[in-house]
Amino acid sequence: MAGGNDVAPTVRLDGRVALVTGAGSGIGAAAAVALAQAGADVVLIARTRSKLEEIAAQIEKIGGRATVIACDVTDATAIREAIGVIESLDILVNNAGGNIPEPFIEVSDEHLESLLNLNVRAAFQVAQAAVRKMLERADRRERGGAVVNVGSQMGHIGAANRTVYCMSKHALEGLTKSMAIELAPHQIRVNTVAPTFIETPMTQRFMAESGFGAWALERIPLGRMGHPAEVAAAIVFLASPAAAMITGTSLLIDGGWTAQ
């Protein structure tokens, strides 16, 4: 995926294979469709097969190719086996994650373990398995590769009632930087996208809470929530030759929240 000396490097991903976790809805689904539109063959992973099949049908309708794998990313053995059977892999969109907003002093051991298991442990294990698959190709240095971890603006700031989520997303930023340094000799680039509140099923229930939606919008200078397609566009960019010199960084898609 080297950019060469092109004046306008391409964002096309023809001939590449991209894996997207949490691909059944929200940012993951939008990213999968956008990657297919850019020419990549896409492997969709999430727990619910029916949702994945809906996204695969959308991709096939636009002339793309998609493979569906129903798998829980928190099952380390299952996810390693699922990624292991993929013939070849060039791009990982490490998107699966969750949040349970609650006051710090009320966080239960169960919720703490659940979020860290999904947002940190599973993210690490998915990335590890995906990079192992990428490195199976003898021409990886020439072909290059890309990992895009889906973080959050909360990986750059703090927020009340989101201590565990913020902790987990800060951890993801550390993982991104360390992976980028270690994998650079293989020409595998690693970056994070860090969105603000995006219109997804996960955020809808938060924004519906009394007063919370107004509080959040007041802190976004652009005055609105983001759309999954806007995050997907950033993911495609970071996965593409147009971002050939970008690694170890975080692209904030936050409408200006963290600029304040």
- State the alpha helices, DSSP H only, in the chain: 26-37, 49-61, 76-84, 109-116, 123-134, 140-143, 163-183, 201-207, 212-218, 228-239
By the 8 A CB rule, do 78 and 72 touch? Answer: yes
Q: Which residues are annotated as catalytic?
A: 165, 169
**How far apart, in whole angstroms, are the C-alpha atoms of residue 251 and residue 195?**
8
The sign of the torsion formed by the CA atoms of 20, 39, 234, 28 equals negative
Long-range contacts of 34-37 (CB under 8 A, 24+ apart): 34/229, 34/232, 34/233, 34/235, 34/236, 35/91, 35/93, 35/232, 35/235, 35/236, 35/239, 36/62, 36/64, 36/65, 36/66, 37/62, 37/64
Q: Which region, left, alpha or beta, applies to residue 197 given φ > 0 means left and ψ of -120 to 50 means alpha?
A: beta
Containing 39, the helix (H) or strand (E) segment is none
**Distance between CA atoms of residues 205 and 220, nearest Å:** 18
Q: What gap in Å lies between CA 96 and CA 52, rounded to an integer?
A: 13
